[in-house]
Structure 1
Amino acid sequence: MSKKVMAAAGVLVSALALSLSTAGSANAADGFTVVRGCGTTGAYGDMSATNWHGPDATIPIKFTLTDTVGDGNSVRIRLVSKDVWGKIHYWPWRTNSQGRGKTSTWNTTASHQNGLFDIGIQVARVNSDGTTKNHCTDW
């Protein structure tokens, strides 16, 4: 066997092992659904992802984000994911600037060329200049 074929086989076996370990973990307790949620001062957000059947899947995602403090700051949420090499990918932020007690919801999909081996969310409250005031992450 050539070195290239052996290297490709090694990558495939590693990807399969990661896929199997992810599918059986808390990341996808029933093999198809992932739920994440966290709160930080001023914001609470959660995410549910369905039909996650492997790292090459395109998964439907629903985000919900609530502003919990009347301080004039916006709140935001985003997907975070890990690829086949463990590299973290930070997805674009989605912002709720409606004010205290208001909730925003988004339905979208996610897939990544290097796979989705773990997914989570970040929730943040931001200053008027766009800098992060505080945040939380849930894997």
Structure 2
Amino acid sequence: MTKKIITAAGVLVSALALSVSTAGPANAATGFTAIRGCGTTGAYGDMSATNWHGPEATITIKFTLTDTAADGNSVRMRLVSKDTFGRIHYWPWRTNSQGKDKTSTWNTTASHPNGLFDIGIQVARVNGDGSTRNQCADW
């Protein structure tokens, strides 16, 4: 009986340590805020994610994307995340095609059945055929 209690306590402590290490200085009531941003030729994007209190959280995200070049190309950005197995999940692109010095903003949420253990963004400039011209990422 004592061995089972000690084992259960060890599993609980390990799970708690994993939750804290993957979510930063988390607070169960308010969560952690993650800020990511990067720029590449023609585009700059950033993201703030709040309520990140552990891998099982549904985070609130604000994306901001600015076209910085008068080149006729659209710019886009997306969330990227890693799950409990270390696999990268590429979320759908969000596109700004308004032209130079125009900024688009999106507010959304994200969660994943395999957890959000790390989050980042990709920002890209897009050719007329939809292919990526250049990009950056921030984890």
TM-score per shorter chain, which class? 0.7 to 0.9
Larger radius of gyration: 2
TM-score w.r.t. the length of structure 1 is 0.84
Letter in 2 for 1:60: T
1:108-119 → structure 2 map (5 Å cutoff) = 108-119=108-119
Following the alignment from structure 1 to structure 2, what is the Cα–Cα distance between the partners of residues 51 and 103? Answer: 25
Consecutive unaligned residues in structure 1, runs of 5 or more? 1-10
Q: Which residue of 1 aligns with 2:89?
A: 89
* Aligned partners of 1:123 and 1:136 also within 8 Å: yes
Percent same amino acid among aligned pairs? Answer: 83
What corresponds to 2:52 in structure 1? 52
Cα displacement string for residues 42-68 of structure 1 (whole angstroms, at most 9, x for unaligned residues): 000000000110100101100000000
Alpha-carbon RMSD across the aligned residues, in angstroms, is 2.1
Deviation at residue 69 of structure 1 after TM alignment? 0.2
Aligned length: 126
The answer (yes or no) to whether the contact 2:40–2:124 under 8 Å persists in 1 is yes
CA contact under 8 A between 1:79 and 1:92: conserved in structure 2? Answer: yes
Distance of aligned partners of 1:135 and 1:76 in 2 relative to their CA distance in 1, 3 Å threshold: same
Q: CA deviation at 1:24?
A: 2.9
SS in 2 for 1:92: coil
TM-score for the superposition, normalised by structure 2: 0.84
**Residues 1:17 and 1:68: Cα distance change in structure 2 (over 3 Å):** same
